[in-house]
Amino acid sequence: MKKITNFIAVFALAAIFTSCNQNDEGEKSGAMASSAAEKVYVSPGEHDEYYAFLSGGYSGNLTVYGLPSGRMLKEIPVFSQFPTNGYGYSEETKDMLKTSFGMVPWGDSHHPDISQTNGEIDGRWIFINENNTPRIARISLETFETEEIIEIPHSAGNHSSSYVTENTEYVVAGTRFSVPYPQRDMPIDEMKGNFKGPLTFIAVDDDGHMEIDFQVDMPGFNYDLSHPGRGESHGWFFFTTYNTEESHTMQEVNASQNDKDFIAAVNWKKISEYVENGGGEIMDAEYVHNVFDHDTQTTISTTKNEVLKVDPRDIPGAVFFMPTPKSPHGCDVDPSGEYIIGNGKLSSDLTVHSFSKMLDAIDNEEFDGDAYGIPVLKFESTLAGTVKDAGLGPLHTEFDDKGNAYTTFFISSEVVKWKVGSWEVLDRQPSYYSVGHLMISGGNSRKPDGKYMISLNKITKDRYLPTGPELEHSAQLFDISGDKMELLLDFPTHGEPHYAAAIKADKIKENSKKIYRLDENNHKYAALNEGETKMVREGNEVHVYMTTVRSHFAPDNLEGIHVGDKVYFHVTNLEQDFDVPHGFAVIGANTSELLIMPGQTKTITWEPKKPGVWPFYCTDFCSALHQEMQGYIRVSAEGANTPMKWGLDDEYTSN
């Protein structure tokens, strides 16, 4: 009972901190308003300096913002169906959402991370994890489209993901919930010692293609967040754990009994060599791997049935635990790779481990026992320092290019700047309110950029006009180029922005694709000019090969379709100009519209229910005569013998 009382005390304190911030908020924002406005003003026609990619949380998507303006540029559909362009509905993209549980139309996206070369973000791709039905997606930064989604077998709550190593050798996925491994029917209260926490290492090749290389069979703790080593510590990956108590119920109390949980240090280079030399054991798995093939503009979906499991106890020197106080959440590595910061979320201190001290402690076998056969290093042996009394409820840390670190404090609702090496607190700024992650461009790399920081806040309350009980979350932009952080801007985010990644616009805007070339369109059902348009009946399936160009469809009159048919409209956009999409919508369709980019072919299905003459039209205002971009489909009763014919401008073809 005493423990429960302590908890109530912590949360009561949280309420006090949060309400304090609310009280000073009015004065502060007024005083700084004018110079801040100049710093974020991007005049009409000018471009932002950075692209920021914010996780869309429970929207399942990734949103793109310009910085410093805070203007939302795009929502990229990833794990959720997206009627705005037909992603996840169209025949070409619906298999992107296939999993071993069937088609999952929704996801919970968390942590985006940009690909790296030599420890610097390179702007080729961005990865993001899905927490609920464990998956990792790769999005092209040429097309800003999701190109690949791989499911993570044996994982549950894919939270400590999707961080990449410094040459994008691997992207990782750790299980948040420990589970039976492999899954099986067993009593929940027999969890302890029987559940496991597999960590999955997914190899990424030069074209970005992902394949699961191995899974590390770890004890049944909860693996919360992770970051790769870099520089000297390249070759290692660090994961925070909580619930080392292995409790299965009332975890807000029972998972907080141990004074320290662990940061797991995983020497993936060593494990990778072990695997290359034939180590590990094949185990059954069931997972789906979906790749969007640009040539055919269609998803290729493959179900796989095995994975390579490694037992870390078979590989001396592969995995160690570093005790870290108070249920650590964030696990962040500084740009040099020497310091690993564990933020105990029930603590006021930050624990900093030293990578070089860790190596010495391993050499000298300074162990404090083991956990399920994995050596536990002595706390003092790896400790580099402690940032004392920095705030309450530390969560995440990022770094600038001047040797400073920035940590978010959820309970005391602030961002605290401190010096790496001397561990002294240099500055603190309130966040409005209850900040989770924060982001500095290149923050997970050797070369972070010290200009802006954004805090990604969990609670919005009074920051904007109320929109009923449901409010968007909020991000705040800070200028971090000076000694003190300066709050510049609030902007709402779509879905919960768990984490974000940003890159200078210069690094990607030249590569950004403007059209899909028609002469590269190898879609099976493409009509590359109006002469190739047609209707083909195969039993009760009708394939319509249709084209769009400003401002008509070909064909625009179709007859010979019957109730009971399944009609596939394969629509090719013949335009080859930037920013001229056409849309396609047909009355009563049970999917969404299509938005077809220049040179692309997309397919919608339609099962007419009622005889009649039914319209279709273009959904995207494409020209002065957009409103005329429309057509008719004659639908006859089931069993009627209306012949098939199709045409444009009263020139019909039939068969």
Q: Which stretches of the chain bind ligand CUA, using CB under 6 A?
A: 548, 551, 582, 618, 620-622, 626, 629
**Min dist. Cβ of residue 528 to ligand CUA (A):** 18
- Chain centroid, CA 370 distance in Å: 34
**Min dist. Cβ of residue 617 to ligand CUA (A):** 8
**Min dist. Cβ of residue 77 to ligand CUA (A):** 21
Choose between 21 and 551: whose C-beta lies nearer to ligand CUA: 551
The answer for residues whose C-beta is within 8 angstroms of residue 286's C-beta and 6 or more apart is 100, 153, 303, 304, 305
The torsion angles phi and psi of 230, rounded to 5 degrees, stand at -150, 160
**Min dist. Cβ of residue 548 to ligand CUA (A):** 6
The dihedral sign for the CA sequence 111, 401, 49, 428:
positive
Choose between 272 and 548: whose C-beta lies nearer to ligand CUA: 548
Structure tokens at 482: 């000076």
Q: What is the CA radius of gyration of the chain?
A: 27
Choose between 270 and 626: whose C-beta lies nearer to ligand CUA: 626
Cis bond leading into 469, ω under 30°? no
**Coil, strand or helix: which one is 212?**
strand
CB 108, CB 131: distance < 8 Å: yes
Q: How many CB atoms lie within 10 A of CB 17?
A: 21
Strands 473-479 vs 452-457: parallel, antiparallel or unpaired: antiparallel
**Min dist. Cβ of residue 553 to ligand CUA (A):** 8
Alpha carbon distance, N-terminus to C-terminus of the chain: 81
Choose between 79 and 616: whose C-beta lies nearer to ligand CUA: 616
CA distance 480 to 454: 10
CA distance 127 to 160: 13
CB 411, CB 84: distance < 8 Å: no
CB 316, CB 308: distance < 8 Å: no
The answer for residues whose C-beta is within 8 angstroms of residue 187's C-beta and 6 or more apart is none
Choose between 350 and 622: whose C-beta lies nearer to ligand CUA: 622
Concatenating the DSSP letter of every residue in 543-580 gives EEEEEEETTEEES-EEEEEETT-EEEEEEEE---STT-
Choose between 284 and 649: whose C-beta lies nearer to ligand CUA: 649
**Min dist. Cβ of residue 526 to ligand CUA (A):** 18
Choose between 72 and 648: whose C-beta lies nearer to ligand CUA: 648
**Min dist. Cβ of residue 619 to ligand CUA (A):** 7
Choose between 440 and 629: whose C-beta lies nearer to ligand CUA: 629
**Min dist. Cβ of residue 559 to ligand CUA (A):** 23
Choose between 186 and 625: whose C-beta lies nearer to ligand CUA: 625
CA distance 542 to 525: 12
Choose between 458 and 582: whose C-beta lies nearer to ligand CUA: 582
β-strand partners of 17: none
Choose between 559 and 620: whose C-beta lies nearer to ligand CUA: 620
**Min dist. Cβ of residue 605 to ligand CUA (A):** 21
**Min dist. Cβ of residue 567 to ligand CUA (A):** 20
**Min dist. Cβ of residue 549 to ligand CUA (A):** 8
**Min dist. Cβ of residue 647 to ligand CUA (A):** 19
Choose between 415 and 574: whose C-beta lies nearer to ligand CUA: 574
CA distance 61 to 77: 5
The answer for residues whose C-beta is within 8 angstroms of residue 179's C-beta and 6 or more apart is 154, 156, 195, 196, 220
What's the burial of 524, exposed, middle or buried (CB within 10 Å: 0-12/13-18/19+)? exposed
CA distance 655 to 650: 16
Choose between 527 and 629: whose C-beta lies nearer to ligand CUA: 629
**Min dist. Cβ of residue 629 to ligand CUA (A):** 4
CA distance 126 to 193: 36
